[in-house]
Amino acid sequence: MAASSPPVDTRQGGLQRCAEPVRRWQGAVPAGRVARPSEADLAAPSTRLGSGERGAVRVPPAVPEGSNRWAGPGASWPASRAGSHPAEQFAMVPPSRRTAAAAQVPDADAACIAGPRVYVVWHKHTDLRLHDHEPLSRAHLESPRLPVVHLHVFDPFWFGRTRMGKFRKTGALRAAFWRECVADLRASLRARGQDLCVRHGMPVGEALQQLAQSVQVVKAFTYAEVCSEELEQEAEFEAALWQVTKGKGELVRCWGYTLHHIDDLQHGPSPPEKWITPYLSFGAFKKEISAYRVRPVGFEWQARVASGGSVVMSPPPALDKPAWWGEVPTLVALGFTAEEASAAEVLEPRTQYPWRGGESAALARLEEYIWGRRALRVYVGTTDWSTSGKCSATRDQTTKLSPYLAFGCLSPRLLYWEAQQFDRTQRCKGTRGLINSLLWRDFYRFIVHYAWGNRMFHLYGPMNCGSVPGGHKEPTKWCCKHYNNLFGGSDPRLWSWGRDRETLRSWAEGTTGYPFVDAAMLELRATGYMQHLSRETVGWFFVRDLRLDWRLAAEWFESRLVDYDCVLNWGNWVYFILTQLPARMDDRPGGGPRYTLPLYSPYLMASQVLGWGSEHDPTAAYVKRWLPQLGHLPPALAREPWRLFADSEPELKLSAVAGDSATEFWACTACTLENPAARSVCEACGTRGPRCGGLAAAASGLGVYGRPPIVPPPPEESGLHGSCLACGHVSLGWAGEDGRFFCGACWAGWTAEEPMVEGLAAVHSCEGPVALQRADRAHARALPPLALPAAVATSGLREPGAELAAAALRTPIQGERKRGARWAVRGNRSGVAEAAVGA
DNA sequence: TAACAAGTTGAATCG
DNA sequence: CCGATTCAACTTGTT
């Protein structure tokens, strides 16, 4: 892998990034050499980007009430709302006028090149919309007025392979979403008398050159990007433009994507180069950025129209060949196999939201979310650990707009002002949460642009991994030392991250043995989406437990996420995962390196997964949805299935599962009698037993969860006790979020009334099967997991229980909750009883 | 908001 | 009196 990587060149700083693109990677670190950023790397890159006419508009004017939904030219805001803004849209040009308008265009160079003179709006896959689109409005308002060609290119580069992991750079699910976005953009343009020129199978430069054979490109407009690969494309496009216009054409880059405009920052009280440093924290950024206003939607267009611009869109060029505009390529044409393509067409029923690509879908979701469901009232966003049990698990607790924002189907400013508008009518915390999330996008975009540059993709990250963003004085030494402590290398500069392919595969395919991780990874594979919280969890697990190169995981995300966004994905990896590596050695007796996380710090790494799992998926509904083979287990065991086999009773150890049939047995589901594994029918009542019998059956039904997980689970906690209502046994147990105590001895409390598994309630009576309640631990364990397959299979298809989580919030658990590994219940019997009845 | 841990600072303590 | 250690208090980071 190292041999095929591009050569390391640390001399490239941000300054040169545009002129001579740097590879995103430094590749694998060669033996004996450490990828160490040079001084040039540490220097902040210059600002080359920004709109072409910086300074034209300084400070956004105050936003008049109700005018913030002004969506600019070609806005495709739903018709029901469009009436409120008379000047909102460019007038539609009737087709009959098209030819006439095109014919009037002055055509000075017609002798050399055939075809009309045009402006080109280059839509990238980060701005597939019409509303609030500065390049688009500039092209249509440019003087002299010329026809405008909207261009989108499916560059094969995005459908190649990632550098380290060799994953598809764009997975099939995202590609399908991408297609839908482009098709929708084309439909919107056609509805306005325009069209979208679509090319695929060729790089952007080539596409432009091909375009130039039939039209004369005068100028091109696009949004600016900040990452190296995107900048490479921009440079390529610019070079081609230079060529086809004989040096006269200009590529106009506008600043978009963020909530705040870069011009506002640059003309603000202090230059951004000063305060945006690699060690800037989000809090500090937020403080600084609060001094700036967010421009209204369509601001740039508004300013131009106010200074005498037209409100009529330029007509598209008159071309007699309809085929010239090209077709939106199929997935197969984009390089996917037929199987992949057809699989991407099928909607996964367990998906959190049935995304459909495109601006109109984005606006519809926005409308539905904010005004229809008024869901900002319940918005949670990413994670809220100040309120216990609060999780972003249901459909409305996050906006589900992230794919639309990533593809630019939705302007963040529109979202911002809509949220503000909602906040005016109904003040709620969700508005602040949502705006906060939008500011995270700004944070990453600006910090990458001004400070991180390509170092975001380096192994040690842009900050070289001090313990906290905020930085250390000598980051490189510091980080090497502690990486060395963690991974046991002898020379601080020589250790390398793991690259084990099989470990990577088990993580990516969701077979690590940790259900919370596996469920998330399976969801990612199946739907291309994962909650933010899950992303953090699997990320920590990947880096700290599996100890693999974090960039492999980031690449996997890049490949699979439908809402993948270069800056956000890599920025989050760097800021949340990479910076949270160990900071110092443990000073406790016998302690090794101390692994720390910014939130609750449990004892060791894997327990973090457990802690977050029990915190945010208290009923294990999420786990069971994606891992139906665990559906029959109580929540605590569904999160930690290895407890089924490895516990204090030696005859039940995993080794017994492997083959010692003498120690196996099964419990009759009807009468609970224990039967030896050899018997296929219950000795007492004749009920048929599980086909394979006992633990072996349990293990085989559990798949990978019949084996120990990929890394050892954290040590059991000791000395934490609760007393069981059913058996009175004082032992380790688990408390569910609804206040019930799950006894470790008799397991009363979970079996029959587990509300999240619909099937169980259907199979057993409401009273709860006496047999199960009387079952001792061994019985319960030996219950055949296949007894309820149909029931369990249907149980995973519903929303995670919002009402249950809400109930949990109302019922504080008696006793002390230890954050981290699991719920530990202290207290006497009456205390538990109080909690159990929900007092 | 409360909650956690890491890091820093400065005073108290010890030999 | 000085250097080294210890410890409490405070700061940072996040919603």
CATH of the domain at A541: 1.10.579.10
Distances (CA, A) of A324 to A95, A102, A111, A514: 17, 17, 22, 52
Residue from A739, A381, A351 nearest A562 by CA: A351
Contact criterion met (CB below 8 Å) for A235 and A21: yes
What was the pLDDT predicted at A725? 47
Distances (CA, A) of A277 to A230, A256, A478: 22, 21, 18
Cα A53 versus chain centre, distance: 34
Distances (CA, A) of A489 to A32, A138, A252, A436: 12, 56, 50, 40
Cis (ω within 30 of 0) for the bond into A469? no
B4 C1' – A248 CA distance, angstroms? 60
What SS3 class is residue A339?
helix
DSSP H helical segments within A407-513, as ranges?
412-425, 429-447, 475-487, 501-508
Contact criterion met (CB below 8 Å) for A513 and A642: yes
Same domain, A303 and A428: no
Spatial separation of the C-alpha atoms in residues A615 and A598, rounded to whole Å: 16
What was the pLDDT predicted at A675? 67
The strand ranges marked E within A617-740 are 665-667, 674-676, 722-723, 730-731, 733-735
Same domain, A505 and A451: no
For residue A155, being part of any structural domain is answered with: yes
DSSP states along A745-782: TT-TTTTTT-TT-HHHHHHS-TT--HHHHH--HHHHHH
Residue from A695, A227, A127, A163 nearest A444 by CA: A227
C9 C1' – A460 CA distance, angstroms? 33
For residue A107, being part of any structural domain is answered with: no
Give the nearest nucleotide to A596, CA to C1'.
B5
Count of domains for chain A: 3
Residue with CA nearest C1' of nucleotide C15: A384
DSSP 8-state class, residue A128: -
For residue A2, being part of any structural domain is answered with: no
CA angle A745, A748, A749 (to 5 degrees): 135
pLDDT tens for A19-77 read: 222 323 322 222 222 222 222 222 223 223 333 332 333 333 333 333 333 333 433 33
Q: How many residues does chain A have?
A: 839
C11 C1' – A132 CA distance, angstroms? 42
Spatial separation of the C-alpha atoms in residues A198 and A98, rounded to whole Å: 20
B6 C1' – A255 CA distance, angstroms? 38
| Chain C bases near protein CB atoms (7 A cut-off) | 12-15
For A816, residues 6+ apart whose C-beta sits below 8 A from its C-beta are: A824, A825, A826
Contact criterion met (CB below 8 Å) for A298 and A132: yes
DSSP 8-state class, residue A463: T
B6 C1' – A548 CA distance, angstroms? 25
Domain finish residue from A440, A457, A474: A457
Same domain, A450 and A510: no
pLDDT tens for A79-114 read: 333 322 323 344 444 434 433 344 343 444 444 456
Residues lower than pLDDT 70 in chain A: 1-114, 309-311, 383-395, 460-461, 463-497, 578-609, 611-612, 614-615, 618, 636, 644-680, 687-700, 714-839
What SS3 class is residue A341?
helix
- Return the H-helix or E-strand segment holding A231: helix A228-244
DSSP H helical segments within A488-634, as ranges?
501-508, 515-527, 532-540, 550-560, 566-572, 605-616, 621-626
B3 C1' – A599 CA distance, angstroms? 8
Same domain, A332 and A361: no
Distances (CA, A) of A772 to A135, A323, A349, A764: 67, 69, 32, 10
What SS3 class is residue A804?
helix
Domain finish residue from A423, A457, A491: A457
What was the pLDDT predicted at A581? 53
Same domain, A248 and A382: no
Residue with CA nearest C1' of nucleotide B2: A386
Same domain, A436 and A537: no
Residue from A218, A223, A241, A207 nearest A129 by CA: A223
For residue A136, being part of any structural domain is answered with: yes
Residue from A506, A509, A487 nearest A496 by CA: A487
CATH number of A363's domain: 1.25.40.80
CA angle A109, A236, A151 (to 5 degrees): 65
A451, two tokens: 């400070």
Spatial separation of the C-alpha atoms in residues A458 and A28, rounded to whole Å: 10
Same domain, A420 and A548: no
For A549, residues 6+ apart whose C-beta sits below 8 A from its C-beta are: A164, A459, A497, A498, A499
pLDDT tens for A377-411 read: 888 777 665 554 455 455 677 889 999 999 999 99
DSSP states along A637-661: HHH-GGGGTSSS-GGGSHHHHHT-G
Asked if strand B comes closer than 7 Å to A283 Cβ, the answer is no
Asked if strand B comes closer than 7 Å to A596 Cβ, the answer is yes
What SS3 class is residue A305?
helix
Q: Which residue pairs, CB below 8 angstroms and at least 24 apart, start in A488-494?
A: A493/A34, A493/A36, A494/A31, A494/A32, A494/A34
Residue A89 φ/ψ, nearest 5 degrees = -115, 150
Give the nearest nucleotide to A384, CA to C1'.
C15
Same domain, A536 and A618: yes
Give the nearest nucleotide to A599, CA to C1'.
B4
Domain that holds residue A147: 117-259+294-311+324-338
Residue from A494, A497, A484 nearest A32 by CA: A494
Domain finish residue from A338, A373, A398: A338
Same domain, A439 and A525: no
Is pTM beyond 0.75? Reply is no
Same domain, A235 and A126: yes
Spatial separation of the C-alpha atoms in residues A579 and A808, rounded to whole Å: 33
Same domain, A415 and A495: no
DSSP states along A135-202: HHHHHHH-SS---EEEEEEE-GGGGSB-SSS--BSS-HHHHHHHHHHHHHHHHHHHHTT--EEEEESS
B3 C1' – A770 CA distance, angstroms? 42
Same domain, A124 and A209: yes
Asked if strand B comes closer than 7 Å to A429 Cβ, the answer is no
DSSP 8-state class, residue A688: B
For residue A416, being part of any structural domain is answered with: yes
Asked if strand B comes closer than 7 Å to A599 Cβ, the answer is yes
Asked if strand B comes closer than 7 Å to A583 Cβ, the answer is yes
B11 C1' – A552 CA distance, angstroms? 48
For residue A384, being part of any structural domain is answered with: yes
CATH number of A159's domain: 3.40.50.620
Asked if strand B comes closer than 7 Å to A687 Cβ, the answer is no
For residue A400, being part of any structural domain is answered with: yes
Which protein residues have any CB–strand C distance under 7 A?
A 281-284, 381-386, 433, 436, 440, 468-470, 598-599
Asked if strand B comes closer than 7 Å to A731 Cβ, the answer is no
Spatial separation of the C-alpha atoms in residues A828 and A839, rounded to whole Å: 15
For residue A221, being part of any structural domain is answered with: yes
| Chain B bases near protein CB atoms (7 A cut-off) | 1-8
